[in-house]
Amino acid sequence: MLNEQQLEELCLGWFQAAGWRYAYGPDIAPDSNTPKRTDYRQVVLRERLLTSLARINPHMPPTALEQAVHALLSGSEPQMVMRNRSTHRLLLNGVMVEFAQGDEKKTDLVHFLDFAQPANNDFLVVNQFTITGTKQPRRPDVIAFVNGLPLAVVELKNPANEQTDVWDAFNQLQTYKDEISDLFNSNAALASGERWLDRACRLAHRERGTHAALAHHRQRRRPAPSPDGVGNGGAWLPPARLVSRLRAALRAV
């Protein structure tokens, strides 16, 4: 029987087999030798985001991309779900920015995701990514970043422990939403683990609907997921499939 650490390693292996790059959270932490963020409150890998935007929008100057990032990350809605929906609209439609080109001022659209060419996006999976919370530091098991944005969170539980189940993972995700809410501004999927990875659950679901979905999956007996990550919770792992599903999900918001 797998323990939680082995399940986490297996999960990371599925991501990598599907084409994702991998980073160990402490190796890219603010106080590491190769930091990818300036402090533990940050949940977006800003430089990775800017690099991706330059690749997706090659005609746009750096100042325009900085404007777009500022617009994406400066949501002021007080409720997390509203910030999430607002961010999703920007991810789907892009944002208009104004910039100087020679003596002229121009306005153009910056896209955050490349839906037409999925391989043009950057896919990074990170485990043990520590975030400063309102009460204490929190460390989700696995976070999936697309273009430096945390779009999915995976919480795993020890499959050998009969006292834990999908509800424990669900409750842990609820705690994260309460204490490290910025992690969910761009979130498009939550995945929880019971004996195996569970199906991704949309953050924007009403609580009642999410409870119902989890209850349904808890009652179903599922075969163990295949090594390629396809089937069960892993069907969305291949980047091209993820981008397609992500676009459909964002349109539904």
Q: Which residues of the chain have pLDDT under 70?
A: 1-2, 158-166, 193-236, 253
* pLDDT for the residue numbered 44: 98
Percent of the chain as helix, strand, coil, to the nearest 5: 40, 15, 40
Pairing label, strands 149-155, 142-146? antiparallel
pTM score, whole prediction: 0.83
* pLDDT for the residue numbered 230: 35
Residue 52 lies in a domain: yes
Residue 115 lies in a domain: no
Range of the domain at 106: 47-110
* pLDDT for the residue numbered 209: 39
Domain boundary among 84, 110, 136: 110
* pLDDT for the residue numbered 127: 97
* pLDDT for the residue numbered 160: 61
Please name the residue that has the structure tokens 């539980």. 157
Q: How many residues does the chain have?
A: 253
Asked if residue 244 and residue 143 are part of one domain, the reply reads yes
Asked if residue 177 and residue 71 are part of one domain, the reply reads no
Residue 155 lies in a domain: yes
* pLDDT for the residue numbered 100: 87
C-alpha–C-alpha distance, residues 47 and 27, integer Å: 16
Q: How far is CA 141 from the centre of its chain?
A: 12
In terms of Cα–Cα distance, which of 184, 110, 177, 117 is closest to 151? 184
* Strand arrangement, sheet containing 149-155: 21-24, 123-127, 142-146, 149-155, 189-192
